[in-house]
Amino acid sequence: MDARSLLKKLSPPLLLALAAACGGGGGGGDPEDTVVVSVEVAPEHAEIDEGKTLQLTATAKNAAGQAIKSAQPNWVSSDRKVATVDPTGLVKALAAGDAELRATVDGFSATAHVVVNRGHVASVVITTQASELGLGRTVQFEAEARDAGGMVLQGRTARWTTSDASVLDIDENGLAKARALGRADITAEVEGARAEIHVAVVEATVAVVRVTPKNPQIPEGKSQQLSVTYLDGDGNEVEWQGTVSWSSSDVGTATVSPSGLVTAVKLGQAEISASAAGKTGKTAVEVVPGGVAGIKIVGAEILVTTGEATGVEAYAIDDMGHELERPLTWESSDPNIVSVDANGRVSGLKTGETQLIARYGDVSQSVPVRSVFRVATVAAGERHSCGLTPIGRVVCFGSNDQKQLGSERASGESVAAVAVDFAPEMRFSAVYAGGSHSCALTDEGEAWCWGSNASGQLGTGGTPSTAVRPVKVMTPDSLQDPLLFDQLTLGAEHTCGIRKGSFSAFCWGNSANGRLGHTATPSSIPGFVSGPSITKVKAGGAHTCGIGPSGIHCWGKSDAGQAGAGGDATTPRLVVGGSFIDIALGANHSCAIAQDRQVMCWGANDFGQLGNGTVTSTSTPGPISMSSSFRDLTAGNGFTCAVGMIGADASVAFCWGDNRETQLGYAGTTGNRAPNPVNGTVQFDGISAGGSHVCGLSGSRTYCWGRATEGQTGWRTSDGAGPHLVDGQ
């Protein structure tokens, strides 16, 4: 450490003591006399009016307390909007407020606290020189507020007025418009001080005549209106009230009327001139192939499946109806319902009706276009539903509060189905709906998810917290090959799936109560569920079950016995042995279809959702109180539904349990402890239960019933409980 560095670390009193011990400060020429140990600023406190200046001094001292005349302080201001300071310590007050002015020499510093008082506006100066304006001219006036010494005061806003708004109008920001010949006074007022400028509005001096539009193309036989704009020598737009003279360089190609209306006569080019105030403006007009009398769109109505696209055939025609080769432009009256590309290919984005418009020049034709709801599979979530179109595109409807519909075209909720924002070329083989998230599988087995990711249920590693656009589920580092799936299942806040080509289950998301089967902490990346082979897996509210070779194994929350006896299970445990073809999990109960197509249930039974005629919960699987051949099974919050037989009819939907939202498919809110057919005569190919609603397919038609508040049934009102067609079919 050198001497200078050592001295900096010593306090000034200690340095003075050392100096005294060494004979004081009278050495004369001692090199250490220039070592700074302190800095003093004077004055330390000061008040100054806005716009004024103040001289500060900074003195650097050595260990003997002597001033070091050669020291050059570095000055800085803590708030340059309030006050600035130059290298000599001269302070300039800019605006009312407080500022600390710091002087630093060799790492030692001192500050002066300066209070800037708000200055008094003594005068106002209008800095814009515009005593004469051409008619139509627009001018921005500026003004400065000054104190008694002529200093400009910052942060003052002038209030502008005019003596005659019909001659010269001015807005609150000082933007003036010359509207009529005459004189007017413009006044700027700041805090009681005023300034005035006298302005005369005179005939404009036209320096340039500009003809618009520039170089238009006009179809043969058609007309287009041209207009002129007048500019002064500074390029400012002005008004001129004289006569405009129009002319054409080739009247055989294009004519022009006294009002500037150009008529295209034959193919070619002509120069159109406009003369006024001794100046002439020109524009080149090109007459393009004409004769287009109309546009023919094939079909009285265009139908496109929401989520899919279709081509539209259209062409221009002449007066005789002959087809012409002309490039058409396309537009949709409502791009939220359908979009259309430059080739006339229409994409259904949201269920609804609008107009499709084809144009050529100023000729146009419109046709009704309807984005219709048509799905081959349907999945119901907690408060939303999703479907898969016949070609494998995904659409959703219902609540979108967590972006579970996968589209910005829906805000908080949407009764109309919207297309999920996947790339146009992507196709899917299955779709799933959960609590507040959704997922779909490609033909190759890639899993894509969207919606809430608060618990990592999208499987993306933790981000984003909410995904409006689908994101791909990650492959864990423990796997060498990409993680592909044969099947997925979505719970309230977790997701599970069966790995493609194996009987291995993977789960991710909220791990509470052991529902993931492999970790006690939340996992935003799929994790392997060790245990028996799993051929089919289903997720409930906070538990999971799978069909294995020896029976049904469950894990997760089991406060009501929904995951079997013994409380919560962190790994799969056998709940019931035997052969099973399907399972369904509700919020806190479980059901399964055995090989003989009989249904058994276990778990919570507070609404009779176990279907055994009681409201007693049990961890032991038991049969429902109806013997039938069932082939499809689904469960929601406190209720269960299945497709079974009545006589020779094998496609009847039965439901039991809670009916407070008419989710059992019949009128009233009274539940049922035993299976009961839903209202109507609809025959179902398959059904899916959400939180408090059910959707099902019957041929090419989709029906829903139950809670409709968030649009999850695809309709708002009905004439009673029971299955109703989803809107837009």
DSSP string covering 550-574, please? TEEEEEE--TTSTT-SSS-EEEEEE
- Rg, the chain, Cα only: 41
Q: Are domains 208-288 and 580-702 of this chain identical in fold?
A: no
Residue ranges covered by each domain of the chain: 40-117, 123-202, 208-288, 294-366, 580-702
Distance CA 514, CA 500 (A): 24
Give the pLDDT mean for 457-484.
95
Distance CA 201, CA 204 (A): 9
Give the pLDDT mean for 471-477.
97
- Phi, psi torsion values for 275, nearest 5 degrees: -115, 135
pLDDT recorded at residue 239: 83
- Phi, psi torsion values for 648, nearest 5 degrees: -85, -5
Q: Is 405 left (phi over 0), alpha (psi -120 to 50) or beta?
A: alpha
Q: What is the bridge-based pairing of β-strands 639-646 and 649-657?
A: antiparallel
pLDDT in tens, 634-656: 999 999 999 998 777 779 999 99
Count of CB atoms situated within 10 Å of the CB of 46: 16
Class of the CATH domain delimited by 40-117: mainly beta
Using CB atoms within 10 Å of the CB of residue 502, give its burial: 0 to 12 exposed, 13 to 18 middle, 19+ buried. Answer: exposed
Domain over 580-702 is classified CATH 2.130.10.30: yes
pLDDT in tens, 369-414: 999 999 999 999 999 999 999 999 999 999 999 999 998 877 778 8
The pLDDT > 70 percentage for the chain reads: 95
The CA angle 58-150-113, to the nearest 5 degrees, is 25
Give the pLDDT mean for 444-468.
95
Number of helices (H), then strands (E), in the chain: 2, 67
Half-sphere exposure of 429 (CA within 13 A, CB side): 12
165's tokens = 């708004």
Q: Chain-wide mean pLDDT for the chain?
A: 91
Residue 520 pLDDT greater than 50, yes or no: yes
Residue 199 pLDDT greater than 90, yes or no: yes
Please check whether residue 403 is in contact with residue 466, taking contact to mean a CB–CB distance below 8 angstroms. Answer: yes
Query: H or E segment at 219?
Result: strand 217-219
Please check whether residue 545 is in contact with residue 534, taking contact to mean a CB–CB distance below 8 angstroms. Answer: no
Confidence (pTM) = 0.62
CATH number for 208-288 (one of 2.60.40.1080, 3.40.50.80, 2.60.40.60, 3.30.540.10): it is: 2.60.40.1080
Domain over 123-202 is classified CATH 2.60.40.1080: yes
Between 614 and 243, the more confident residue is 614
Distance CA 92, CA 49 (A): 10
Residue 547 pLDDT greater than 60, yes or no: yes
pLDDT in tens, 85-130: 999 999 999 888 999 999 999 999 999 999 998 888 899 999 998 8
Residue 359 pLDDT greater than 60, yes or no: yes
Distance CA 588, CA 637 (A): 8
Tell which CATH architecture fits domain 294-366: Sandwich (2.60)
